[in-house]
């Protein structure tokens, strides 16, 4: 990690949903998406910290494991089943791995990154909070 990083837990925030029109009622998919985003913003920083000193080989193995779990049990991830916990954990680990890329990752209502970068959604949140104080 360089001196220009967000620290051991990286930066994990809910991504803005500005492109979506307002809805009149909340659907089951909306509730799932919101709960998953909340869960990811809690879990991804822990996996970022866990993987922060991992070697390239360890990252590759974690990537392969997460990919296999998500590909095999993505239905359990979304709809529940005996592999729900392990597939959601694999998803959080995948976000932690993708956060290492330049510009981080934005998906499923969550943004995660390790270093400050252009157009990071956290910049807007930080300035919004500073204006509220």
Contacts with Zn ion, residue ranges (CB under 5 A): 104, 113, 120
- All residues at 6 or more sequence positions from 19 whose CB lies less than 8 Å from its CB, including other chains: none
What is the closest distance, in whole angstroms, from the C-beta atom of residue 104 to Zn ion in the complex? Answer: 4
Cα–Cα distances (Å) from 38 to 33, 41, 83, in that order, read 9, 5, 20
What is the closest distance, in whole angstroms, from the C-beta atom of residue 71 to Zn ion in the complex? Answer: 26
Phi/psi at 63 (nearest 5 deg)? Answer: -65, -45
Q: Which is nearer to Zn ion, 74 or 121 (CB)?
A: 121
Q: Which is nearer to Zn ion, 10 or 73 (CB)?
A: 10
Residue 45's CB: how many other CB atoms inside 10 A?
Answer: 22
Q: Which is nearer to Zn ion, 45 or 104 (CB)?
A: 104
What is the closest distance, in whole angstroms, from the C-beta atom of residue 103 to Zn ion in the complex? Answer: 7
């Amino acid at each position: 990690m360089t001196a220009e990083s967000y620290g051991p837990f990286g930066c994990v925030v809910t991504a803005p949903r500005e492109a979506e029109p307002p809805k009149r009622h909340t659907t089951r998919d909306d509730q799932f998406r919101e709960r998953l985003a909340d869960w990811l913003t809690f879990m991804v920083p822990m996996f970022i910290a866990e993987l922060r000193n991992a070697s390239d080989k360890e990252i590759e193995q974690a990537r392969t494991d997460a990919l296999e779990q998500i590909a095999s049990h993505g239905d359990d991830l979304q709809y529940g089943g005996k592999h729900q916990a392990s597939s959601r954990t694999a998803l959080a680990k995948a976000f932690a791995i993708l956060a290492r890329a330049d510009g981080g990752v934005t998906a499923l209502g969550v943004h995660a990154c390790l270093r400050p970068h252009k157009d990071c959604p956290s910049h807007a949140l930080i300035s919004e909070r500073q204006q509220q104080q």
